[in-house]
Amino acid sequence: MTEPHRPPEVDRVAASRRAVEARRARASLKRDIAMRVVTPQDVLARSTDATDSAAATLRVTEFLTALPAIGAGKRDRVLQSLGISPVKRLGGLGGRQRNALSTWLDERFPPIRPRAGRSRLLVLAGPTAVGKGTVAAHIAAHHPEILLSVSATTRPPRPGEIDGAHYFFVDDEAFDRMVDAGDLLEHATVHNRHRYGTPRRPIEEALAEGRTVLLEIDLQGARQVRAADPAATLVFLLPPSWDELVQRLVGRGTEDAEERARRLRTAKVELAAQSEFDHRVVNDDVAEAARKVVELSEAPARYSSRG
């Protein structure tokens, strides 16, 4: 191949810019792995798509130490037992090495096995700022047959929030009374701060009418719903990347720095629990994520994927 004539320094500048971008993309991918925004199996699968992608050019050593609870010692033992040289990049693994690594990953990080059954009680959870509220609102707007549960909370309303529509805003005493009376299907203190709970009655009534009910709640609440109704469908909403999640949280500007830090700590804990869920949906595009969530519920036939 003949290259066009360009001064060598132009090539050098372009090459170094590309190298910086590639390093940045790999650093971002490592954060996604560490925070479990992507599964290691996905990254390994992606590494064969394009030879210059972040996944393909990631060293196996960096890949392994990005995984939760894998230090340098463990990494070296794993590579040795799998017969993989530490200088290898994911995209450069041979077929046998790739299979060996994939088997090891499946044992260490068991993949989510989507459940076959569908329920009319649908729980949408996921880390802060992932867009749960937006996806839930999109579903409510396009699927009037689905009841979006309105929670009670002790948090003060944000500008524009309407009592009875976004939340039932109550004080601590009123919340205590609801708990004592058994009025809440689940309740939890979220981000170590305010209390939130799901009123039981509207849900029972909607389910009795044959409607699908959607709860947009936190991890603790999702666990309580699972305990109360093991057949409930639990969906975990994921951001396209960890960096994007941080950007969304900063961008919406509704929390101060301390509150953002608190929410990111909770996000890490929530992401680590995603294997407890039946399904994972990436919120890349709100309408698309909403469509996938509805598909996972036992929504009436006229709204199902069969149209």
Residues engaged in binding ligand 5GP (CB under 6 A): 132, 151, 155, 186, 188, 190, 196-198, 216-218, 220-221
The CA–CA distances, whole Å, from 64 to 59, 117, 201, 221 equal: 9, 35, 48, 33
Least distance CB 186 / ligand 5GP (angstroms): 6
The CA–CA distances, whole Å, from 214 to 121, 177, 253 equal: 6, 24, 27
Least distance CB 53 / ligand 5GP (angstroms): 32
Least distance CB 155 / ligand 5GP (angstroms): 5
Measured from the CB atom, the residue of 98 and 218 that comes closer to ligand 5GP is: 218
Measured from the CB atom, the residue of 53 and 153 that comes closer to ligand 5GP is: 153
Measured from the CB atom, the residue of 196 and 242 that comes closer to ligand 5GP is: 196
Long-range contacts of 61-67 (CB under 8 A, 24+ apart): 61/86, 62/26, 62/30, 63/30, 63/33, 63/90, 66/29, 66/30, 66/33, 66/34, 67/33, 67/34, 67/40, 67/108, 67/109
Least distance CB 32 / ligand 5GP (angstroms): 21
Distance CA 62, CA 47 (A): 14
Measured from the CB atom, the residue of 59 and 194 that comes closer to ligand 5GP is: 194
Measured from the CB atom, the residue of 151 and 297 that comes closer to ligand 5GP is: 151
Distance CA 212, CA 83 (A): 51
Measured from the CB atom, the residue of 60 and 178 that comes closer to ligand 5GP is: 178
Least distance CB 243 / ligand 5GP (angstroms): 20
Q: Which residue is nearest to ligand 5GP (CB)?
A: 221
Least distance CB 298 / ligand 5GP (angstroms): 22
Measured from the CB atom, the residue of 45 and 246 that comes closer to ligand 5GP is: 246
Closest alpha carbon to 57 in 25, 34, 83, 14: 25
Distance from CA of residue 303 to its chain's centroid? 25
Tokens of 4: 């066009």
Residue 194: exposure state from Cβ atoms within 10 A (0-12, 13-18, ≥19)? middle
Distance in angstroms between the alpha carbons of the first and the last residue of the chain: 52
Least distance CB 248 / ligand 5GP (angstroms): 12
